[in-house]
Structure 1
Amino acid sequence: MVDAITILAVALLVGGIVGTLVPLVPGGLLSLSGIYLYWWHSGFAEPGTITLAVLTVLGLLTLFAEFFAGSLAARVGGASWATTSIAAVVAITLLLVVGPIGLLVGLFGTVFLLEYFRRGDAAHSTRSALFATVGTLASTAIQALLTATILFVFVLAVFAF
């Protein structure tokens, strides 16, 4: 018989996967919450120490990807820290007003315009904007894969053995 806490823990893990696909929902944090809720509920016995450490590292990597991957990609593309910071604010604002398309268009447009004003080079501005936008999309894919891995490993560790 499966109890309510176990169901809630698994629901949080599934919510972690869904949360990576929904902007502004911390999928990694939901996954970590599910793991630690179950660990607490099991009397700190399941999952085991090594599995718990691996799942924690995966959850922290997910959080890192969520918060920093887009900015790092923009930096690799040549954008300044100021540009990436302003672009993040604009993108989140447009996300709230228009939705996911607003996030992508706002991110690309802001990085392009600010980098163009900063350097006067359309090719550089386009490159920086593409890196930022593709980095944000890649970050979402990475987060989804990490949270799915967390759920898979959790189910194997807790229910298969």
Structure 2
Amino acid sequence: MVDLVTVLAIALLLGGIVGAAAPMVPSGLLSLAGLALYWWGTGFTELSVLTFAVLVSLAILTALIEFFGGSIAARAGGASWMTTAVAAIVGLILMVVTGPLGLLVGLFGTVFALEFVRNGELEGSTRSAIYTTIGILASTAVQVLLTTSILFGFVVAVFLL
């Protein structure tokens, strides 16, 4: 029988998938909230501890990727921590004003400009900007896959097992 707790949990898990692709929506935290709501709402009995732990681990991993994926990519491309922090702020501001394209352009442009000022290297600045932009896109793709996996695992555990 599907009850209100199950419907709300599934809505939060679906929100996690949408949030993975939509900027400023915490996909991992929405998935975590859906899992916690369901587990609490069913008296901690419907999902086994192992299933719950695995799904929660995926939700935490999703949140970590969401929060740190772009920074890790920027660092892998050689950008400084300061450049990464400034680019994140500029990207968020531009995203609010112009949408997802503003985020990508803001990140790329900021990383490129600050790294060029810092090092004076066209090739290194371009590499850092490309790594950052690709890292953000890859982070989004991984978040969509993880949140979809969480929903799939939840549905299997609740309705098929």
- TM-score bin (small chain): over 0.9
Aligned length: 161
Q: Distance in 1 between matches of 2:104 and 2:67?
A: 16
TM-score for both structures, normalised by structure 1? 0.99
Please say if 1:118 is aligned against 2:114: no
Offset at residue 154 of structure 1 (A): 0.5
Offset at residue 3 of structure 1 (A): 1.2
**Unpaired segments ≥5 residues, structure 1:** none
Alignment of 1:96-107 (within 5 A): 96-107=96-107
Cα displacement string for residues 40-62 of structure 1 (whole angstroms, at most 9, x for unaligned residues): 11101121100111011100100
Please say if 1:58 is aligned against 2:58: yes
Instruction: Give, as a single letter, the amino acid of the residue that structure 1 aligns with 2:105.
Output: V
Match of 1:13 in 2: 13
Alignment of 1:141-156 (within 5 A): 141-156=141-156
Match of 1:34 in 2: 34
Cα displacement string for residues 90-112 of structure 1 (whole angstroms, at most 9, x for unaligned residues): 00000001111100000000000
Instruction: Give, as a single letter, the amino acid of the residue that structure 2 aligns with 1:11.
Output: A
Runs of 4+ in 1 over 4 A off after TM superposition: none
Q: Distance in 2 between matches of 1:121 and 1:54?
A: 45
Match of 1:132 in 2: 132
Offset at residue 113 of structure 1 (A): 0.2
Q: Distance in 2 between matches of 1:124 and 1:7?
A: 50
Offset at residue 128 of structure 1 (A): 0.0
Match of 1:90 in 2: 90
